[in-house]
Amino acid sequence: MFFPTIGGEWIPIKDVKSILVSNDPSKNARVETADEVYEVDGHAAKLMRSLPVSAFPAAAGTYVLTMVSEGDEKPTEVFPAMVIAWGLDAEGISHPITASGVDDGNNGYHAIRMPDDTVVQPLGNEWPTFREYLAKMEVKLVQAPPELMAKSGQAAFFA
């Protein structure tokens, strides 16, 4: 994989030694290799920092639960995506990896449904069962595999 510099060069990600990103992603960032320091787009640099530097398989039955809402309204639906691996980024933060790629948390409010049926959120909230999580969040489970529909206590939205 490569990243583009502001000057139009393409640098291999494997050569990156450090990334200095501003709290304001609209500002350019600095990427240092062994030989040189490059200026790169702040958004691209932030994305590079969230890319996994290592990954390992997830336990079967682990799902990312993404809340969906219309505009500024309270979420009404939750979409599950099977976690196939966990990735650790350069800062040691774990990110679930699904068939759609690395979930960096920017695609919406989410939680993780663990194989033992507990549900956890990154900020420490935890529910003992998937059914209790759905009831507390007041959301409808949609497009879910049969094993999750059975645990939800809800009728299948898509049969």
pLDDT digits (tens, 9 = 90+) for 93-151: 788 888 888 776 665 568 899 999 999 987 788 999 988 988 888 877 776 677 777 76
How many C-beta atoms surround the C-beta of residue 69 within 10 A? 13
Instruction: Give domain status of residue 158, yes or no.
Output: no
Please state, in angstroms and rounded to a whole number, the distance separating the CA atoms of residues 104 and 106.
6
Q: Do the Cβ atoms of 118 and 133 come closer than 8 Å? A: no
Q: In this structure, are 83 and 64 located in the same domain?
A: yes
**Domain range for 93:** 54-150
Judgement on whether residues 86 and 133 belong to the same structural domain of the protein: yes
The reply to whether 44 and 60 lie within a common domain is no
Give the CA distances from residue 153 to residues 111, 131, 158, in Å, rounded to whole numbers and listed in that order. Answer: 18, 7, 15
Give pTM, 2 decimals. Answer: 0.65
- pLDDT per residue over 21-62, tens digit each? 777 767 888 888 888 998 888 877 777 766 777 889 999 999
